[in-house]
Structure 1
Amino acid sequence: MSSMRLEIEKAMGLKFPERNGEVIVRFEESVEIPQPAEMLMRGLYRDPDRVRQGFKLLHQETGSMIEILMPKRSRLREWADSLPERPKEAELFLKETAEQLLIREQRLVQAERELVGQLQESGLEDVYPIPLAAFGVCTFRDPSVKLFLKPLGRFSELYEINPETLRQAVRVHFLFLLLLVAGADLDGQVYSRVGEDKVVHWIASIYTVRYLKSQSTELIHCYQEWVNAWGGKMPNQSMLNDRECEKTRAAMIFWRRQPNISWEECWRIINQLERPASTSSMVF
């Protein structure tokens, strides 16, 4: 983590606060399940107990059909080899089993139809958007981060992505986030704003994508799935070149020091220093 921290400090141009050579911010990874993650941990079913009961009922009805069909199959095989001695008894047997099968089939079809309806109502759309607090929280006043590993693991299961790769990508995002609100710039200036979660996560995402892009495409893929899950926005490719990153850093430093100026206004001011044709959108 220490080598990653140094790389992240270099990338953002800020430095974590230290005391006696030790970083004094907290970065914790927890196995607890926060309240915002409860729906995610539940999975893709609105009412899992009801769906489970539906499968149980369908299993029972299928078994009832088999209990009639198996003896009937044996009797039919027997009569195919040797005709029944009493045709009337065979006729009665066929009529009775036909009626029983019709009743069982109707119950089976009804149980199956209800279960299919329940499955159609279940899906990822019931989980989304996932609250960002389900994965991690960052406090500004006493800068610290807590990541929740179990919700991240559950998310990786749902999306069939590597859980360790996902955790690594999310760590990078929250390290950039923590540095943004806790770090000092080259002049020793610190973060002077209050809150503004949406903006800090947007800025963190720009630096995270740029950092992960130099690592692997798998990290980028996992990160993109995660950002989409909580309703974030990925920066476009034009924001990742060196020139745009320098402008981003200048706007970020200016924005951190000016609590009364919005991010959009800071970005507009920075772009006034360049030709209008060279500007790109940084609205999130």
Structure 2
Amino acid sequence: MSLRLEAEQAMGLRFPERNGEAVIRFEETMEVPHGAEVLMRGLYRDPDDIKKGFKNLHQETATLLEILMPRRARLKEWLEELPEQPKEAESFLRETSEKIQHQDRKVSQLEHELISKLVESGLEDLFPLPLSAFATLSYTDPCAKIFLRPLGRLAEILKLSPEILRQVVRVHFLYSLLILAGQDLDGQSCQRGNEDAVLIGIASFFTLKHLKKHPPEFQHCYGEWVKAWGGKSFQRLIAQESSVEKVRAAMIFWRRNPELSWDGIWNGLQSFEMEKITSPRPLSSWPVR
């Protein structure tokens, strides 16, 4: 079964068709969108400044070596044959020792400054990014646009498989598109406006259910990607242990009733389940549409 058919079956929705072909507006591009510049730059807050720090440290280390290497050679000579005048050795050792101490202080200071800058650079400084750094989703004319270069950069930084990451992101947005553009069994389309939190929560629920059929690396890649744009909070909307049937019913009702909130629908569904257990009467507060 194709991914599209599997998604349609799981959600109870179908993509609209044209000339017998499903209409799925899905684009992958090598563009770097606004908001992804920091990611493309990498983990360093100011890479040019870090490079300058390494350059200065390299130069001062070279200067230190220029003092140490002749001293080492002279000491080796004196191992084999002592200098004619003890004062010569004393003067040499004092002079080179002062130079070494002075240069070592400069190297240590540069090391300290560079280490401080490196500590300031890291994953905490880079994330979270906006979701739009990886993909955009249009509500008015449902279509998804995925930016491959930022995804590749994320895979490189987090040591993920670029191809698996690309696949799981495609799955997420396929479910997102199906929620927005799909038609239910009555032929009705989505009546909601821009409600990212609920859309992401529902798409994540079905994506994770789908990925459980794959090796653990798929779920790991998806989790790391969601974490990269701060999407973990959206996943709390629907517990993973919830049944697909229950989420599907709530999702379809939510799509068709823009005047009702997701929380209201979800809580109403739970109340309905409890009432079915305790009483055969239907839940009168829910109109059938």
Report the CA distance between 1:237 and its aligned residue: 9.7
SS of equivalent residue, structure 2 residue 2: helix
Asked if 2 retains the 8 angstrom alpha-carbon contact of 1:166 and 1:219, the reply is yes
With over 3 angstroms needed to count, the CA separation of the structure-2 counterparts of 1:198 and 1:235, relative to structure 1, is: closer
Residues 177-216 of structure 1: matches in 2 within 5 Å? 177-216=176-215
SS of equivalent residue, structure 2 residue 144: strand
Report the CA distance between 1:238 and its aligned residue: 5.6
Letter paired with 1:47: D
What are the Cα deviations for residues 9-48 of structure 1, in whole angstroms up to 9, with x where unaligned?
A: 1111111111101223310111111011111111111111
Residues 200-239 of structure 1: matches in 2 within 5 Å? 200-233=199-232, 234=235, 239=240
Letter paired with 1:182: A
What are the Cα deviations for residues 66-92 of structure 1, in whole angstroms up to 9, with x where unaligned?
A: 111111101000011101123222222
Give the equivalent residue in structure 1 for 2:74: 75
Give the equivalent residue in structure 1 for 2:281: none
- Measured in 2, the distance between the counterparts of 1:255 and 1:102 equals 73
SS of equivalent residue, structure 1 residue 272: helix
Letter paired with 1:9: E
- Measured in 1, the distance between the counterparts of 2:275 and 2:92 equals 89
With over 3 angstroms needed to count, the CA separation of the structure-2 counterparts of 1:201 and 1:154, relative to structure 1, is: same
SS of equivalent residue, structure 1 residue 147: strand
- Measured in 1, the distance between the counterparts of 2:195 and 2:121 equals 34
Q: Aligned pair 1:119/2:114, yes or no? A: no
Give the equivalent residue in structure 2 for 1:133: 132
Give the equivalent residue in structure 2 for 1:145: 144
Report the CA distance between 1:235 and its aligned residue: 5.4
User: Structure 1 residue runs of 4+, over 4 Å off?
Assistant: 235-238
- Measured in 2, the distance between the counterparts of 1:197 and 1:235 equals 14
Give the equivalent residue in structure 2 for 1:272: 271
SS of equivalent residue, structure 1 residue 248: helix
Residues 88-107 of structure 1: matches in 2 within 5 Å? 88-107=87-106
SS of equivalent residue, structure 1 residue 138: strand
SS of equivalent residue, structure 2 residue 240: helix
Q: CA RMSD in A?
A: 1.8
Q: Aligned pair 1:50/2:49, yes or no? A: yes
With over 3 angstroms needed to count, the CA separation of the structure-2 counterparts of 1:196 and 1:236, relative to structure 1, is: closer
Give the equivalent residue in structure 2 for 1:281: none
Asked if 2 retains the 8 angstrom alpha-carbon contact of 1:205 and 1:235, the reply is no
With over 3 angstroms needed to count, the CA separation of the structure-2 counterparts of 1:126 and 1:277, relative to structure 1, is: farther
> Percent same amino acid at aligned positions?
54
- Measured in 2, the distance between the counterparts of 1:24 and 1:71 equals 76
- Measured in 2, the distance between the counterparts of 1:274 and 1:92 equals 94
- Measured in 2, the distance between the counterparts of 1:21 and 1:9 equals 16
Q: Aligned pair 1:31/2:24, yes or no? A: no
- Measured in 1, the distance between the counterparts of 2:195 and 2:217 equals 30
Give the equivalent residue in structure 1 for 2:59: 60
What are the Cα deviations for residues 155-202 of structure 1, in whole angstroms up to 9, with x where unaligned?
A: 111111111111111110000001100110111010111101111011
With over 3 angstroms needed to count, the CA separation of the structure-2 counterparts of 1:227 and 1:145, relative to structure 1, is: same
SS of equivalent residue, structure 2 residue 107: helix
- Measured in 2, the distance between the counterparts of 1:196 and 1:165 equals 28
Residues 139-178 of structure 1: matches in 2 within 5 Å? 139-178=138-177
Q: 5+ unaligned residues in a row in structure 1: which ranges?
A: 279-284
- Measured in 1, the distance between the counterparts of 2:49 and 2:190 equals 50
With over 3 angstroms needed to count, the CA separation of the structure-2 counterparts of 1:208 and 1:13, relative to structure 1, is: same
- Measured in 2, the distance between the counterparts of 1:253 and 1:49 equals 52
Report the CA distance between 1:239 and its aligned residue: 3.1
SS of equivalent residue, structure 1 residue 84: coil
